[in-house]
Structure 1
């Protein structure tokens, strides 16, 4: 049973573009996946995304090119802050979404990491029908 969904989107010029997502059975796994993606995105700062493609795992988000260090540092800070992780865990436990948006102020690029319970707004049914990059399940990502 898949109880939680996580997704990462990039917003540029008012358009939100999904760059990856997963559906997992519990909130700890969802937050672990989001932390991993936050660190991967931050650690990719300053590298050529085309050369970074071989290190993409089956369930990892696509790389993002940041033009400044503000967004990567905010991603690193969130991933390493126990208080932020506890707050996200509490939100998910109470049935609310856990969201983080960081912005690259040089180009107005926003990256949003989000997780929420599957039953929240019927997201999974809508994602499988309309979403160009629906979240993959554990079995699909293996």
Structure 2
């Protein structure tokens, strides 16, 4: 979706070159390397299928670090908390994968600092 969005932006911005085809800015754009489009990731936090929190979107980043904290009161039994990692796009969001943490680990009250696998759509670990 990022590539589609970029292509649309280029189509609409191409009309501006007709007005100023030899401008200094246009020459700089031609000489400048094309930017590589990556994901615009964010995470939604879900308990028993209900979204209870979400992070901010970090634009154009393949290795995001959010450093955000949430207090999520659990008023009903749940087995795990799921973290849906998504790619924010112009036309909606695309699911990258899901990481989950057992509620028992969280109930201990200790800080959890670990890497959790992100499971993709077909049950396989998402690629970096």
Higher relative contact order (CA 8 A, sep 6+): 1
- Global fold match (TM > 0.5): no
Larger Rg: 2
- Scaled to the shorter chain, the TM-score interval is under 0.3
TM-score, normalising length: structure 1: 0.26
